[in-house]
Structure 1
């Protein structure tokens, strides 16, 4: 996010802009928060999330099999997470290097666009999972005609195309700025006030509303109706009730805790871009962005609670009692069941 806003001067020799900023603002780019803490968080996310999501994809493809809509959505969510964390090494290197981007304007655009594309693709996929869960629980019979694997793949394709299209403006914008005093080149840390007024204000307000707040409303309503349905006394399998409720709680917490602060601060900033902001908003944003990346580590919980077969395999993989795990997953009462994902 570009909390710092200045009138930029274009270098005649290239499309890169150069800039001198006030001395009191140089501390932003030398702060340990940016050069040590934030990249350390990204390293932890990368080391935890990458193997977990790779294992999840292997389980979905070769153990669980992609034969239900829920598995299709979770498989694509794992792929989005892997793509997301694959961008983190570039950001880690950038921050550890004192916020000096040395691999070119083109890579800055690509990494920034990919970062946002995969973040919002994950949000849309989690929203799709919530709707699929609602249909499976509340309309288990009537939704059989709607909840097909082919339609799930078409939905995922649409989500990917929508997410990619939403980041095209970032691919055609100049995102690097050279700071003369520090002799560093920033990547997407500074924008000119003119660009914000003419272009980014409309782009990001529409982008955030479409890719976060609308999915948040859909997800919240879907899980509220799902939990309400699960409270029915006709559903007697307490284990399946708790598994479905834990899935709802996990996704909602991920929305609120991981993605909520980032998008709220983002929207507040662009709705008030003409007002001065202090360093507190800048630090709040970069910290919230690093927190949002933790969602990649939480998504395996969605796979765990969202698929009975995946849960059973993980139990077996961890050398748990197979018979016990099987009994708990199938449930002893067969008079009323919740469709498995």
Structure 2
């Protein structure tokens, strides 16, 4: 009996010693993105207690020294927003011009045109959201637009980026059908089906980012800044985010990557083996296919591979460096919004024909004006020669 009492006392002392003291912070072992730790010793705002609703604390989180250096360092506060600003300035007019030119001159009556105009809209919406990112990073990674706006901007940012990937995949499939199955694909490639496919791509991307829209994306830190999407507590749903982003990147990038790679490889093979097309046109088509594929891989592969790796690393511990690499790769990959109008619209043969037609009309008009000006200038010279003596008399 005495041994039982001593054993019970030891268990009680061990349990009491293992409880956290009031002064020690409660540590969340993992957060999505950078790691953060809840600080309970900070002053707490309990709200309006007169209505009986002041029992919910305003939580503040602390981060590691490495994360503090990332959040306050020049990479995130100078380099990233500078690149975003450059992309914003260049991409906005390019995509607007592409949309206006495409609707006004080319008229998207073919499936390829419908896919391309949807891609331009997705790129334009993506770039328009960069204004929030630019303000956020230049402001020292301090989000000042509110919690609801953080959720909206974050989900819309992912929505437009991955909808662009899906639409690029659709364009590659459409080109694959047109090149490899030129006769059979006439039944499959119709404007109505292209509109339906684009609508489904927008719907699929919207459903995919719904969890981001429904979950809290901002977090207040002891650095006196509020981050948006960069430091998040997922103590209660940590396992969900690990599975969510690995499945998300697999569906919205790795599957489109496989499909796009297959399509462009087959397109290049068919173009290389055909002899019915002029050598110059065939070479141009092959070069354009290679350029489009390289740009797609270079702009989107690093971002999604790092994101996929980042969430796999969360199961084993810290992943601050991988998330920092992800932020930089997203920044560099946003240049794709400047390249899409150049390679899909202004680089297309149809667009070039329209431009050549416009230039030819302008050249013909210039020649007419030049001939009219020549005849009129001869008459003016004759009149000047007659009036010169009169001018001299008036002086």
TM-score for the superposition, normalised by structure 2? 0.76
Pick from 241, 245, 256 the counterpart of residue 200 of structure 1: 241
C-alpha distance in structure 1 between counterparts of 2:337 and 2:349, whole Å: 21
Pick from 120, 134, 146 the counterpart of residue 188 of structure 2: 146
Residues 50, 82 of structure 1: 8 Å contact kept = yes
Q: Counterpart of 1:191 in 2: which secondary structure?
A: strand
Q: Which moved more, 1:293-302 or 1:190-199?
A: 190-199
Shift of 1:322: 8.3
- Report what 2:34 is aligned to: 4
C-alpha distance in structure 2 between counterparts of 1:208 and 1:318, whole Å: 45
C-alpha distance in structure 2 between counterparts of 1:319 and 1:276, whole Å: 64
Q: Which moved more, 1:54-63 or 1:22-31?
A: 22-31
Superposed, which structure 2 residues align to 1:1-341 within 5 Å? 2-8=32-38, 13=47, 17-180=59-222, 182-195=223-236, 197-277=238-318, 279-304=320-345, 307-315=348-356
Q: Counterpart of 1:26 in 2: which secondary structure?
A: helix
Q: Counterpart of 1:231 in 2: which secondary structure?
A: helix
Q: Counterpart of 1:41 in 2: which secondary structure?
A: helix
C-alpha distance in structure 1 between counterparts of 2:143 and 2:359, whole Å: 43
Higher radius of gyration, 1 or 2 = 2
Residues 95, 124 of structure 2: 8 Å contact kept = yes
Structure 1: give runs of 5+ residues left out of the alignment: 324-341
Q: Which moved more, 1:296-305 or 1:59-68?
A: 296-305
Distance change in 2, residues 1:15/1:76 (3 Å): farther
Q: Which moved more, 1:96-105 or 1:242-251?
A: 242-251
Residues 316, 322 of structure 1: 8 Å contact kept = no
C-alpha distance in structure 2 between counterparts of 1:318 and 1:47, whole Å: 27
Shift of 1:191: 1.9
Distance change in 2, residues 1:48/1:261 (3 Å): same
Residues 250, 301 of structure 1: 8 Å contact kept = no
Shift of 1:6: 3.1
Shift of 1:152: 0.3
- Report what 2:368 is aligned to: none
C-alpha distance in structure 2 between counterparts of 1:311 and 1:152, whole Å: 23
Distance change in 2, residues 1:263/1:15 (3 Å): farther
C-alpha distance in structure 1 between counterparts of 2:135 and 2:348, whole Å: 36
Structure 2: give runs of 5+ residues left out of the alignment: 1-30, 48-55, 365-395
Residues 53-87 of structure 1 show CA distances to partners (whole Å, capped at 9, x for unaligned) of 11111111110011110000000000001100010
Q: Counterpart of 1:243 in 2: which secondary structure?
A: helix
Residues 100, 185 of structure 1: 8 Å contact kept = yes
C-alpha distance in structure 1 between counterparts of 2:57 and 2:341, whole Å: 42
TM-score for the superposition, normalised by structure 1? 0.87
Residues 303, 310 of structure 1: 8 Å contact kept = no
Distance change in 2, residues 1:9/1:227 (3 Å): same
C-alpha distance in structure 2 between counterparts of 1:268 and 1:162, whole Å: 23
Q: Which moved more, 1:228-237 or 1:135-144?
A: 228-237
